[in-house]
Amino acid sequence: MKTTNQLFSAIAMMLLLLSVQFTFSQEQPQSPEYVTMTTMHWSMDNDDFTMDDWKAVEKEFMDKVTMKNEYVMAAGFYLHNISADNSELIYVQAYPNWNAIDLAAKKADELIEAGWPDKAKRDAFFKKQSAFYEVRHSDEIYGTMPFAKPLSIEATKDMIVHLRVSHFAYPEDGSEEEFMKTFKEYHENVTNKNEYIKAYYPMVHAYGSDKRQFVEATFLSSIDDINDMFEKDGELFKAHWSDEEAKKKMNEIGEKYFTGFHSDAVYSVVPELRK
């Protein structure tokens, strides 16, 4: 049985089909257009590992490099909580445009040289940093979508991110008017009114392993709020689409663009390591 959240997959699919360039209104001039997600893995051979040491190393890098990089709008680490691989952690960075991804990398090189001018100390720092991770990692780039719900509160140690990855279908009878109208209506009457959802960021594949991917990152105050969030979504959906015929039409729109597959994972926010 498909959930109401799957409606967003329908809308994202149409954005891909019609090659819509995501833009933001004047009320959201600072919204990023692209997000990179790097999935890394803890090194199981690091016998000296402590979470405090890891945070201290990454905090030093963030203070000297990421925080000073004007091309990176936001950044943060997300640790495995409930996912298929307990060794994984995800590092996310947000950019104002596509060119900024390349410019940010070049700027980082400059800031690294300035932050550790002594080569011996620089090499020692990065050797210590790299010891926390395995060599393998994967990278994805996503395009952001309109109607996000930005985080308006400070992140806490209990805050989590519910990450849902869905797969698009490819209907021939879709239209831009249909998905934009429906997406906006759902956002205004469900997501934006759900008090358990502290932030919501929908994204679509831009560059990476699977063009079918539609990613929804939902921030919650704690893991205890997951079930409450879904229940509230259902209540708000039924309240707005109270007519049975309206409910049926909404579900049909969602099913038209969605394959039925999705995966869910939960990650913990690291408040000390955020830009």
Pick the CATH number of 34-139 from 3.30.300.30, 3.30.360.10, 3.30.930.10, 3.30.70.100: 3.30.70.100
Say if residue 125's pLDDT is above 80: yes
How many CB atoms are closer than 10 A to CB 158?
A: 14
Do 34-139 and 4-19+146-274 have the same topology in CATH?
yes
Nearest to 122 by CA among 182, 72, 60, 76: 60
Are the CB atoms for 253 and 7 separated by under 8 Å? yes
Residue type, 215: V
Closest CA to 92 of 21, 162, 140: 140
**pTM of the full structure:** 0.87
Per-residue pLDDT reduced to its tens digit, 195-248: 999 999 999 999 988 888 989 999 999 999 999 999 999 999 999 999 999 889
Residue-wise pLDDT tens digits, 163-179? 999 988 878 887 778 77
Domain boundaries, the chain: 4-19+146-274, 34-139
Which of 189, 179, 143 lies closest to 254 in space, CA to CA? 179
Q: How confident is the model at residue 61 (pLDDT cuts 50, 70, 90)?
A: very high
CATH class, 4-19+146-274 region: alpha beta
- Residue 108 Rama label (left phi>0; alpha psi -120 to 50; beta): alpha
